[in-house]
Amino acid sequence: MRTKQGLVVVVAAALALALPLGACAATAEDSPTAPQADLTTLRDEVIPATDPGRSPANANRRTDTFVSMILKPGGVFLPGFYENGWDGNAIVPIFASLVVRDESGQPKPDLAESWEISPDNLTYTYHLRDGLTFSDGSPLTADDVAFTLTLLNDPAYSGYIDFSDIVIAGTDEFRNGDAPGLSGITVIDPRTITITTERPNPLALTILGGPVISKAHYGKGYAKGKLDYLRDLYAKPLGAGPYQLDRFVEGQEVRYTANPHYYGGQPPIAHLIYKVLPSTDAALQNFQNGDIDQGGFGSDPAVIDELKELGYATINTRVIPDIGQIWVNNSNPALAPTQARQALNYGLDRQQIVDARFKGLGQVADTYAAPPLWSYTTEGVTRYDFDPDRAGQLLDELGWVRGADGIREKDGKKLTLSYITTKPDDPVIPIGEQNYTALGIDFVPEVLDSNTAFARFNSGDYDLAGFRTEGLADPDDAVREFGTNDPNINLSRYRNPEVTRLVAAGVGTFDEAERKKIYAELYQRLSEDPPTILLDYRKSISAYNARVEGADAFRTGGEDAAQALAKLKIRSS
């Protein structure tokens, strides 16, 4: 999956080059400076409501409606085609998958009641539940699954879902030849589909078993190599999830009604609303006055005390499996050399950014895995503690010389780097300006709306861009883009043959112990030749009004969040 966006909890070795700087950089084990927080030792915590009866009247009047929050949806409500990650949150209630993952990352049935994997790990057979329908009452069958996978492997498809490490049999003949479909997909009967792949991959079960869309709805007008017609359907989603879209008012709300045809039964709560809010500060105010029932409140420990005082708030604090980063456009000639990216890492006071952003509930990130992931390790990785002298030395070695105005120049061109963000209060702006200006870099922040920012980011029209990864369910989620040359996936345009080999090796075996060894080596290689600037891990605060029963399961925001949504109930006052 493409690793970008900022999710809210509502429902991210040596090179062949002989580089001297890798040898002299400190590692996490021998550095004298330790992070101020260690999220690997912090446990998730649930703080129960102490006085549910204090729930605001404004909330209590909503006897058939649950209101959560969302920040910046863009209105592309089609799995596999959105670019703004908030749209990924917005489609969670609408669509259902064959298989999802629970909070621990284990596969869990959704539309498929069971499955088998062949002994060679190449063929997957899914058995659909009996009587499945989409929200309009039309049947959902194996033909819809086949159509979904065909669409996502169409030669014109340029979205974030990547089958390159799986490869359904017949993909080449379909994309580059005259084959009308993928020969590896066989519909046995309306409830059974078999998919044969060319490469073993431990993620294939859930990637092949992703959200299912309606062939009758989305297949009208389909012709191989021509997908533009789907744009007219972005705002008209049809899925098999627990809710169906009622309306989307940009900048205000995404409104849903319960799906009477949901396989798990019509949800007890008739209406669901994601209220569009500008910030976590606004979320707290809306929660206090009863305008929302659930929200994410950032990572300020002081907020926990404010929520406790309300009495009706059940509070969750959780180490989030994502990573805050600054993506670096490696195709920019000024940023292509490894030394340049190392200089940017050494030259930025990341601890100061983490302190400003999380106030003690964050940790500087040093490896391409979040602490909750089973692959997480910092053993042997290069640690980039704030060292402006080292950063300056590296830029000197690359030939970037300070001009009369203090800005570095090379071959008549100034070292000017823009920084894309969607947050006016992004601490990278003042800290980056201070640190990089002192280093001789002309640092130019650009605060953009989400749709413009993602469009620039996805097209490669950026130097530096601040985004979080999506929630990471598997180690591959954080590193996959660095192992492919596909610009629709590899948004950093990073190239490193050894990294490419290790990324492929990480999904080339089902043995978790072996995978762990591979990722440990991969993290070392990525730290020595950093594709991006790692920033932080975080512990996040969310809460829900105790009038809502079952929201503790919904808090995780994981792939099974839709199933949790379908079980929410409002307690009678």
How far is the C-alpha of 173 from the C-alpha of 179, rounded, in Å? 6
Q: What is the pLDDT of residue 2?
A: 37
How far is the C-alpha of 216 from the C-alpha of 31, rounded, in Å? 59
The dihedral sign for the CA sequence 88, 91, 93, 94: negative
**312: its two tokens:** 């009706």
| pTM to 2 decimal places | 0.82
What contacts 466, CB < 8 A, 6 or more positions away? 324, 325, 326, 327, 419, 420, 421, 423, 426, 428, 535
Q: What is the pLDDT of residue 42?
A: 64
Q: Which residues pair with 109 in a beta bridge?
A: 99
Tell me the one-letter amino acid at 135.
S
Contact 40, 28 (CB under 8 A): no
Q: What is the pLDDT of residue 6?
A: 33
Contact 111, 563 (CB under 8 A): no
Contact 49, 546 (CB under 8 A): yes
Q: Which residues pair with 317 in a beta bridge?
A: 45, 541
**105: its two tokens:** 């990352």
- Consecutive sets of 10 residues in the chain, 573 residues long: mean pLDDT of each? 33 22 30 52 84 96 95 93 89 96 85 97 98 98 98 94 93 94 97 97 95 97 94 97 97 97 97 92 94 91 94 93 95 97 98 93 94 94 97 98 96 96 94 98 94 89 92 91 90 96 95 96 98 95 93 61 90 76
- What's 136-181 look like in SS3? CCCECCHHHHHHHHHHHCCCCCCCCCCCCCCCECCHHHHHHCCCCC
Contact 241, 93 (CB under 8 A): yes
Q: What is the pLDDT of residue 83?
A: 84
For the sheet containing 413-414, what is the strand order?
A: 401-402, 408-410, 413-414
Q: What is the pLDDT of residue 506?
A: 96
Question: Phi-psi category of 42—alpha, beta or left, where left has phi over 0 and alpha has psi -120 to 50?
Answer: beta
What contacts 109, CB < 8 A, 6 or more positions away? 99
- What's 49-61 look like in SS3? CCCHHHCCHHHHC
Alpha-carbon distances, residue 161 vs 80, 151, 334, 454 (angstroms): 6, 11, 30, 16
Q: What is the pLDDT of residue 167?
A: 96
Q: What is the gyration radius of the CA atoms in the chain, in angstroms?
A: 24
3-class secondary-structure state, position 480:
helix
Q: What is the pLDDT of residue 151?
A: 97
Q: Which residue segments constitute the domains of the chain, with CATH numbers given? A: 72-276 (3.40.190.10)
